[in-house]
Each structure stands twice: as structure tokens, then as C-alpha cells.
Amino acid sequence: MANNRPKLAVFKFASCDGCQLSLLDCEDELLAVAGKVHIAHFPEASRESVRGPYDVTLVEGSITTPDDVERIQKIRRRSKMLVTIGACATSGGIQALRNFRDVKEFTSIVYAHPEYIRTLETSTAIADHIPVDFELRGCPVNKYQLIEVLNAMLWGRKPQIESGSVCVECKRRGTVCVMVAQGMACLGPVTHAGCGAICPAYNRGCYGCFGPQETANMDPLSEKLAGLGVLATNIARLYSTFNAGAEPFEKARRQVEATNN
Amino acid sequence: MKRRTIKVDELTRVEGEGAMHIEMRGDEVTDVKLTIYEPPRFFEGFMQGRDYSEAPDITARICGICPVAYQMSSVYAMEDAFGVEVDGVLRELRRLLYCGEWIESHVLHVYLLHLPDFLGFESAIHMAKDHGETVAKALRLKKAGNAIVSTLAGREIHPINVKVGGFYRAPTKQELGGLLEELEWSLGMAEEMVRFTAGLSFPDFEKDYEFVALRHPEEYPCCEGKLVSNRGLDIPISEFREHFVEIHEPHSTALHCKLKERGMYFVGPLARYNLNFDKLPENIQELALEIGLGKTCRNPFKGIIIRSVETLYAVQEALRIIKSYEPPAVASVPVEPRESVGHGCTEAPRGILYHRYELAEDGSIRHAQIVPPTAQNLPTIEDDLRQYVTQFMALPDSELKWQCEQAVRNYDPCISCSTHFLKLTIDRK
């Protein structure tokens, strides 16, 4: 029987599986979603695999191997709308730390026979290789935002995803600023909203897992952090975690390191 | 001689990416390979030079399904290195967090990943058309587990409240109290889950495995204890490297781990249950015996029952901890970095997860070693497939292929973890 529901596909590159798991974590919405779309390719959840073209494709993970470079092109050709989900897919993820070091050194640390391993020198975002229709940030993505993006793609409208900083979410939540009141290092002012400002609500500074917001003003934050007595090496570490490959964070890290040397 | 090939290029309903390839010549299985093509991510490489305090958040990113396990093994390792003990309420809160992860991970595997094999569906979503109420109740139970993690630690995936020494903020009594109602419902649902899974039909398949798990003198193991086996292993976790060895096979981006003296072994729910049956609460022991599970189980397909038993245990344990909870005076104990080596080993939903760190005087990481459960089970999974195919060779290819996939899923393999795995090929030559 022909199935008239729009086809949804989920593909994975280098990642932890957490972002696609977010879909299965939508306990209240999963069956409703499954009723509206035909889950045509989602290996983590189903043996069934239907060939494209797909109406909406979700891509998790970053490009790290020569095969990945070819595979993402094929996926793009089979997808009407393609959305990248999570820090790996949108900025290269934590594995982008290799971009700043010699990858041969890494393989020899982890693997006894580095010659068995085929990998690229860099871990890069999907949008560095193909045109992407929407990038949803977060490490992991917010599952409610994921549902919103899916809905928007299915209805052919723009997703309603807030583009401000974590600071705005903190104010809305009524959390007292941990940087102002307690002198904690916090990346809230430069980090893309979406998590709901959970870290400050749990008495810790934001560590930037949603990546830089669109207009991240990095230098004043670096100065503020230095003023709070945070060592340059620690500021550099703060900028080089799950979105280390995102341009504003990478530039700010280099800046801090250059000033310090 | 008749050659037969069965292959699955992309194993499904597992976490991460791998393939299975089985070759037969006549009645003999000539090759079994679980090819793991999940790209390597080099965590142990980029941990070098990071601060000890970053280990829980960074290592959590190895796996989106069991981030709590990574956080727990890393904080225990750091605390071991610095000579700090986290006890009392904070220890109870860690156990509660782990209960949340066991519930969500086990329910995900039992109902969404493994049960469709037993009932003959491609997925839980296909299954929901005929078994809508079962799937809906399973999702509700899963949600109760996730709610523990998100209440206590901010969010389900990559929680943000775990630190070396304890937590950033201890929950209020009211916050945890809000979980009670769903957990009381979950208690009944988890018992139903045990009885339901016990009623499934299982292939007649048993092996004499060496099971390895933690064992603690007073409780069903979670974060602490000695490493024991049914063949005499009994060591403190600090001696892990003296007894276990990681091997790099050409077909895999995951290292395979073996016991130096005896080779392959089995970790996970079956191992925990077989080695710690006496530590389960009396009512759960009675239920397990009533449904005919016995004190020892050597059929890996019955892992689905044992995950259900452990789910019931985790719900019961979570209720115990929440009901007796009084917020601690401080959310964490202070730690003082020093030049040291620390070991942590905790029971991830899929089995023991070992972390070892060498630290410099300033607390920066000189060397990190992480041995995830799936890497330890890989040689056993390949051996199971070899024996399974030999035993059930008369089956037609499509059926044998599906059952081999099921045999792999018995282990709830987490490939994302093990590369720090799966496609399926059965090759009959």
C-alpha cells in the first residue's frame, strides 16, 4: 500500500546518538509524531528502511571520514528539507578538538594499530559540505525545539526558535545571575538560547553547549572573565568544548591564547 | 561444498553504527565479524591536558544513552585519585540518578529495541498498531526514569549537575517529592513488565559464560564494589589493568577487551543478576523465582526479563531514596588535586564501565583510559553468533538473519560507546 504521509529519515555521522535519542525521549509525543509522518529510515528505532526521496531528513553528527564526505552528498540529493541537529552536526562537536592538533597523535593514543583507522584531519559541521535548510543547536538538542522544527518543516513554515542568549532565558526563569552575584565563570551572555538556562538554575555557570548565539560578542566576555580572576588557560578551555569548532568560540580562544603568550 | 552468505549492512535498533557478516561453508561457520564502522572520536586523546573537573561533562558525550554512567565512573575515579570519599545523602543521590538512567535505558531497550523482535515487528512504532496500550505504558515508565534524571540533574541527556565531589546543587525535598506519584504507578507497571517479558518465547540457547560484574557487600551493585566473576575473579577495581587487556582488531574502530587469563567474558544485566541475586530485595527475589527465572540465567535472550527485573529494582530503590531524603548541608565535598592515579568502575545499564586517569599536580589529565561495556562484550557477541548459526543453520536466510540480529540485540550494544559498533552480513559459502 502506498503511504501518503510525509517521509522522515534520520541519519547519523560522528556523534553520541543523544540528539536522535531526543526523538525517542519525546514520550508524550512520539506516537502522535509517528501517526503524522512515515518514519522511513531511522536505524536506531526500526529495521524498516524505505528508499528516498525523503520529505524531511534529520542529520546528527559531524563529518570525520572520507566516506562521510560522499555519504552526506547522497543524503542531500535524496532529501527535500534537511535539518542538522546538535552540536556535532552544526559545529563539529567535541571531536572537533582534533582540528587544532595532529590527528595522528590522537589515533596513536587510542589505537594500538593506527593503520587500521581511516579518518580525516578535521571534524566539521554538515553545513560545511552541503546546503542545510535549518540548523538546530544544542548538546543535546532540546526535544521540544526538535518537535517544533519537525512541525514547521512539515507545514512549510519557518521554525519558531528563539535566537537570543541564555541570559534572556535566565531572566525569564527568575534565576539570579551567577556571574554578577557569585562571580562564577558563565558563557550565558554569548551562548545560543534553547536549553532553558538550566546550568545557572543548578548553581553553575553556563558552559556553552548550545554554541554561540548569532551576535556573540566574545571579547568583552573574555575581559570580564579575566577580571573575575579566571586564568587564561581556563577561559580557553571554556571556549573549547562541545562547540570548539564554532567560529566565534574558536576565534575567542585563539585571541585569549595570543594575549596570554 | 555449499557456500552461504548472510549479511546485514546496517544493524538496526542498536545505538550507533555497525554491520554483521557471517560466512558458512557446508555445515561449518567459517567467519563471524561484527564490523564497527562508527567513526572514531578519540576521546582519550583529547582528554589529555584537560582539567579533572571537566571529565564528567566531556566523557558524558561519549554516549547519549548512558551519560550518567560516564559521569559516575569519572567522578569516582577522580575522587579515588584525590583520596576523597563522597558518602551519606550525596552517595544516595548518585544512586538515585543512576536508578533513573537504568529505568530509561532498560525500558528503551526492552520495549522499543528488543521486544519488536520477539513479537515480529520492524519497530515499536509498527508494534504500536497492534499493541498500542503496551507501547503507551512503556513510554510512560520510561518517562518516569527520565524525570528522575532531569529533576535531579537538569536534563535527561547530558545532565549538568554532576561534579567531582558531589553535585552543583542538591534538590529540594519538594522537587524529589514531585516524582513520587509516577514512581508509585511505575512500581506496578515494572512488575507487569517482569511478568510480561517472562511470558515471551525464547530460543533454546545457553552457554557457559564467564560473567563479570561489581559486587558490593551490602547492596545490588551500582557505583562501588569489587570486580568478581563466576570463575574466581575477585579483585579491587584498581587491579583492572592487571587482569584485562584491550585488543585492536582490524575490522573494528572499537577495541575488544578480554580477560588476560581466560579470554572472553560477559558483562551487563545477566552478569549483575547472576553474581548478585542474593543482594536483590526479598520481594524481587521471590518474584524472579515465581516467574521461573531461577537464581542463574545463561540464556542471553532472557536478558529482556532481567532488564525488567532490574527496572523494578531501580523503581523500588528510587522510591526508598526519595522517601527518606533530607537535603544535605552541602551539595559537594571539597577536593584537592594532587599528582595521582585514580580508578572508577560503575555498572552502566550495559555493564561495567571502567575509567582510569593519571593526573598532574595541578589536576590536569595526563592520561585517560575508558573501557565501555560493549567493547567488553564484543568477543562474546561474535562467539554467540557462531554458536547460534551452527545450532539453527536449517533456518531460511531471512529468518536466520533476523534471529542473528536479535542475538546481537540481546546485549543492547552501544556502538557509539564502544568506538570511542554495527552492519550485519551472513555469508553462506
Mind listing the pLDDT tens digit for each residue in B250-285?
A: 766 667 888 999 999 999 999 999 999 999 999 999
Cβ–Cβ contact A14 with B under 8 A: yes
Residue B399 CB-density burial (10 A; 0-12 exposed, 13-18 middle, 19+ buried):
exposed
Cβ–Cβ contact A114 with B under 8 A: no
Cβ–Cβ contact B63 with A under 8 A: yes
In sequence order, what are the beta bridge partners of B235? B227
Which domains are assigned to chain A?
Answer: 7-155 (3.40.50.700), 166-260 (no CATH)
Mind listing the pLDDT tens digit for each residue in B137-183?
A: 999 999 999 999 999 999 999 999 999 999 999 999 999 999 999 99
Residues of B whose CB is below 8 A from A96: none
Choose the mutation target among B155, B414, B419 for the interface with A, i.e. most A CBs under 10 Å.
Answer: B155
Please judge whether A24 and B153 are an interchain contact, meaning their C-beta atoms are less than 8 angstroms apart: no
Amino acid at B16: G
- Three-state SS for chain B is CCEEEEEECCCCCCECCEEEEEEEECCEEEEEEEEECCCCCCHHHHHCCCEHHHHHHHHHCCCCCCHHHHHHHHHHHHHHHHCCCCCHHHHHHHHHHHHHHHHHHHHHHHHHHHHHHHHCCCEHHHHHCCCHHHHHHHHHHHHHHHHHHHHHHCCCCCCCCEECCEECCCCCHHHHHCCHHHHHHHHHHHHHHHHHHHCCCCCCCCCCCCEEEEECCCCCCCCCCEEEECCCCEECHHHHHHHEEEECCCCECCCEEEECCCECCECCHHHHHHHHHHHCCHHHHHHHHHCCCCCCCCCHHHHHHHHHHHHHHHHHHHHHHHHCCCCCCCCECCCCCCCEEEEEEEEECCEEEEEEEEECCCCEEEEEEEECHHHHHHHHHHHHHHHHHHHCCCCCHHHHHHHHHHHHHCCCCEHHHHCCCEEEEEEEC
Half-sphere exposure of B353 (CA within 13 A, CB side): 28
Please judge whether B122 and A46 are an interchain contact, meaning their C-beta atoms are less than 8 angstroms apart: yes
Buried b (16+ CB within 10 A) or exposed e, B111-126: bbbbbbbbeebbbbbb
C-alpha cell at B189: 507497571
Residues of A whose CB is below 8 A from B40: 64, 107, 110-111, 117, 119
Give the pLDDT score at A3: 67
Please judge whether B39 and A107 are an interchain contact, meaning their C-beta atoms are less than 8 angstroms apart: no
To the nearest whole Å, the CA of B359 is away from the closest chain A CA by 16
Pair B369, B74: CB distance under 8 Å: no
State the complex-level ipTM: 0.94
Mind listing the pLDDT tens digit for each residue in B205-226?
A: 999 999 999 999 999 999 999 9
Choose the mutation target among A47, A69, A210, A253 for the interface with B, i.e. most B CBs under 10 Å.
Answer: A47
Q: Max alpha carbon distance in chain B (Å)? A: 74
Name the A residues in 38-97 with CB < 8 Å from any B CB.
Answer: 39, 42-49, 64-65, 68, 93-95, 97
Listed residue (A22, A214, A241, A51) closest to B50, CA to CA: A241
Give the pLDDT score at B423: 35
Nearest to B169 among A94, A111, A203 (CB): A203
Give the pLDDT score at B1: 65
Mark the ranges of chain A whose per-residue pLDDT is less than 50. Answer: 1-2
Percent of chain B with pLDDT over 70: 95
Choose the mutation target among B103, B125, B151, B256 for the interface with A, i.e. most A CBs under 10 Å.
Answer: B125
Cβ–Cβ contact A209 with B under 8 A: yes
Q: Are strands B365-371 and B422-428 parallel, antiparallel or unpaired?
A: unpaired
Residue B426 reports pLDDT greater than 60: no
Q: Which residue of A has its CA nearest to B150?
A: A198
Listed residue (B165, B180, B204, B190) closest to B322, CA to CA: B180
Mind listing the pLDDT tens digit for each residue in B344-358?
A: 999 999 999 999 999
To which residue does cell 522522515 refer? Answer: A8
Nearest to B41 among A14, A24, A139 (CB): A14
- Report the Cα–Cα distance between both ends of chain A, in Å, rounded: 67
Mind listing the pLDDT tens digit for each residue in B30-82?
A: 988 887 777 777 888 889 999 999 999 999 999 999 999 999 999 999 999 99
Cβ–Cβ contact B175 with A under 8 A: no
The count of CB pairs under 8 A between chains A and B is: 189
Give the pLDDT score at A113: 64
Please judge whether A46 and B135 are an interchain contact, meaning their C-beta atoms are less than 8 angstroms apart: no
Residues of B whose CB is below 8 A from A105: 45
CA angle B193, B198, B199 (to 5 degrees): 105
Name the B residues in 28-47 with CB < 8 Å from any A CB.
Answer: 38-46
To the nearest whole Å, the CA of A207 is away from the closest chain B CA by 9
Residue B420 reports pLDDT greater than 60: no
Which domains are assigned to chain B?
Answer: 58-209+261-396 (1.10.645.10)
Q: Which residue of A has its CA nearest to B16?
A: A17
Residues of B whose CB is below 8 A from A211: none
Percent of chain B with pLDDT over 90: 77
CA angle B251, B248, B72 (to 5 degrees): 110
Residue B421 reports pLDDT greater than 50: no
Name the B residues in 398-427 with CB < 8 Å from any A CB.
Answer: 402, 405, 414, 416, 420
Name the B residues in 82-111 with CB < 8 Å from any A CB.
Answer: 104, 108
Please judge whether A202 and B45 are an interchain contact, meaning their C-beta atoms are less than 8 angstroms apart: no
Q: Which residue of A has its CA nearest to B253?
A: A117
Please judge whether A207 and B39 are an interchain contact, meaning their C-beta atoms are less than 8 angstroms apart: no
Name the B residues in 197-256 with CB < 8 Å from any A CB.
Answer: 246-248, 250, 253, 255
Q: Which residue of A has its CA nearest to B245?
A: A112
Mean pLDDT, all residues of chain B: 92
Cβ–Cβ contact A103 with B under 8 A: yes
